[in-house]
């Protein structure tokens, strides 16, 4: 392309909120044959809300939010089960130190219910799995099956509840506790957060597919939730890569590209920076973190997945014109 054409394309991009980091990027974007979207914050709003709290009775039967907690003095007290509010209070305390959108929704819900949430005595973030904290002397875990499994807490009594919530597209998290001075942990309950799919996500996917681009989704979230979201936006189930740990996201993109594909990776989070860097074109979207923007080749100023289509179209149009 002539420098003039590149200049025109870059300017048109900038006017439309699509920032190409250089003329070479503008040229490359038209050759993308696969678009890989991060799920949370990219296809979805990334603004989670707590939707469910479930505790389990001594027989492992779920007691949903609003159900009856174990009565004081009753037979159940011997194997005391916490109320849904108590599970939420403990989970919220453990999540206080986490910046994760999943965590923020839990903390906000506890505040809204007026629960008295203590600061944890210790806190540790386990990337891609959840959090581990010390609350009132006990270790509290909030996270996925791997996190609790690694602590020796069997997540199976929650299996059905988890599956139900996940097929609704929610992210279900297990809450477990290892009481002070013991090594055996117990499963307390399940909390679930829901995210909203961005209004234009489906239109963006449809437009990309109309241009005969392969559209994929990459997420740390579990398979069932990921597929429920993919279905809503029109991404084929076989194009969903789920349960990808943050440090494995770039490898997942490399694998997608290993057959000669030229992928545009679209993401917003700190987690996504390495994946953006290895992609043929890395695109940071909207309110993305500085790290993501720095690693990206293209920055979309707005939070709109349709601007991905715009970026490819601008590249295509400007460079075709001068051929």
Choices 49-57, 70-78, 180-188, 216-224; region in contact with ligand ADP by CB under 6 A:
216-224
Interaction residues for ligand ADP, span 96-125 (CB under 6 A): 98, 100, 102-103
Nearest to 23 by CA among 39, 42, 8, 38: 8
Q: Which two tokens stand for residue 166?
A: 């996940």
Distance CA 22, CA 9 (A): 10
Give how far the C-alpha of residue 147 lies from the chain's centroid of Cα atoms, to the nearest Å: 16
The catalytic site residues sit at 38
171 binds ligand ADP (CB under 6 A): yes
CB of 297 to ligand ADP, least distance (A): 21
219 binds ligand ADP (CB under 6 A): yes
Interaction residues for ligand ADP, span 6-45 (CB under 6 A): 39-40
| Per-position x/- string for 247-286, each x denoting binding to Mg ion as judged by CB under 5 A, each - no binding | ----------------------x-----------------
CB of 135 to ligand ADP, least distance (A): 14
Instruction: Pick one of 27, 113, 246, 277: the residue that binds ligand ADP (CB under 6 A).
Output: 246
220 binds ligand ADP (CB under 6 A): yes
Residue 47 has, within 13 A of its CA and on its CB side, a CA count of 5
Distance CA 146, CA 251 (A): 20
Binding partner at 131 among Mg ion, ligand ADP, none, C-beta below 5 to 8 Å by kind: ligand ADP
**Residue 185 main-chain phi, psi, to 5 deg:** -95, 165
CB of 146 to ligand ADP, least distance (A): 8
Taking CB atoms, the residue at the shortest distance from ligand ADP is 220
- Coil, helix or strand at residue 134: strand
Interaction residues for ligand ADP, span 265-294 (CB under 6 A): 269, 271
Task: Give Dmax over CA atoms of the chain in angstroms.
Answer: 83
CB nearer ligand ADP, residue 128 or residue 274: 128
> Which residues pair with residue 283 across a beta bridge?
266, 298
Distance CA 159, CA 153 (A): 13
Report angle CA 85, 160, 77 to the nearest 5 degrees.
Answer: 40
CB nearer ligand ADP, residue 13 or residue 189: 189
Choices 11-19, 137-145, 206-214, 301-309; region in contact with ligand ADP by CB under 6 A:
137-145
Buried b (16+ CB within 10 A) or exposed e, 154-180: ebebbeebbebbbeebbbbbbbbbbee
# of chain residues touching ligand ADP (CB under 6 A): 22
Which residue reads 């051929």 in tokens?
Answer: 323
The string of DSSP letters for 186-235 reads EEEEEEEEE-PBPTTHHHHHHHHHHTT-EEEEE-SS-HHHHHHHHHHHT-
Instruction: Pick one of 9, 13, 130, 305: the residue that binds ligand ADP (CB under 6 A).
Output: 130
Distance CA 119, CA 1 (A): 58
Choices 33-41, 60-68, 162-170, 207-215; region in contact with Mg ion by CB under 5 A:
33-41
CB nearer ligand ADP, residue 70 or residue 135: 135
Binding positions for Mg ion, rule: CB under 5 A = 38, 40-41, 269
Binding positions for ligand ADP, rule: CB under 6 A = 39-40, 95, 98, 100, 102-103, 128-131, 142-144, 171, 173, 219-221, 246, 269, 271
């Amino acid at each position: 392309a002539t420098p003039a054409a590149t200049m025109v394309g870059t300017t048109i991009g900038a006017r439309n909120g699509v920032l190409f980091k250089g003329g070479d990027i503008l040229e490359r974007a038209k050759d993308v044959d696969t678009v890989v979207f991060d799920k949370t914050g990219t296809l979805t709003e990334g603004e989670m809300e707590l939707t469910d709290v479930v505790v389990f009775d001594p027989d492992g039967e779920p007691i949903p939010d609003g159900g009856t907690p174990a009565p004081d003095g009753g037979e159940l007290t011997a194997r005391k089960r916490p109320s849904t509010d108590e599970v939420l209070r403990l989970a919220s305390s453990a999540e206080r130190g986490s910046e994760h959108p999943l965590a923020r929704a839990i903390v906000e819900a506890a505040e809204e219910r007026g629960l008295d949430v203590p600061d944890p005595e210790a806190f540790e973030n386990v990337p891609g799995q959840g959090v581990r904290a010390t609350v009132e002397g006990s270790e509290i875990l909030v996270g996925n099956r791997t996190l609790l499994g690694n602590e020796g807490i069997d997540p199976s009594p929650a299996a059905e509840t988890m599956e139900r919530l996940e097929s609704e597209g929610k992210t279900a998290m297990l809450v477990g506790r290892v009481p002070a001075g013991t090594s055996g942990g117990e499963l307390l309950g399940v909390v679930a957060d829901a995210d909203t799919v961005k209004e234009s996500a489906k239109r963006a996917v449809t437009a990309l597919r109309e241009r005969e681009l392969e559209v994929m989704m990459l997420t740390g979230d579990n398979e069932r939730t990921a597929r429920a979201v993919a279905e809503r936006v029109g991404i084929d189930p076989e194009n969903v890569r789920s349960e990808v740990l943050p440090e494995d996201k770039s490898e997942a993109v490399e694998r997608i590209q290993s057959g000669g594909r030229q992928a545009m990776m679209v993401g917003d989070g700190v987690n996504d920076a390495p994946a953006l860097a290895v992609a043929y074109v890395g695109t940071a979207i909207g309110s993305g973190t500085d790290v993501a923007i720095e690693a990206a080749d293209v920055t979309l100023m707005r939070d709109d997945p349709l601007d991905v289509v715009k970026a490819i179209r601008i590249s295509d149009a400007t460079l075709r014109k001068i051929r």
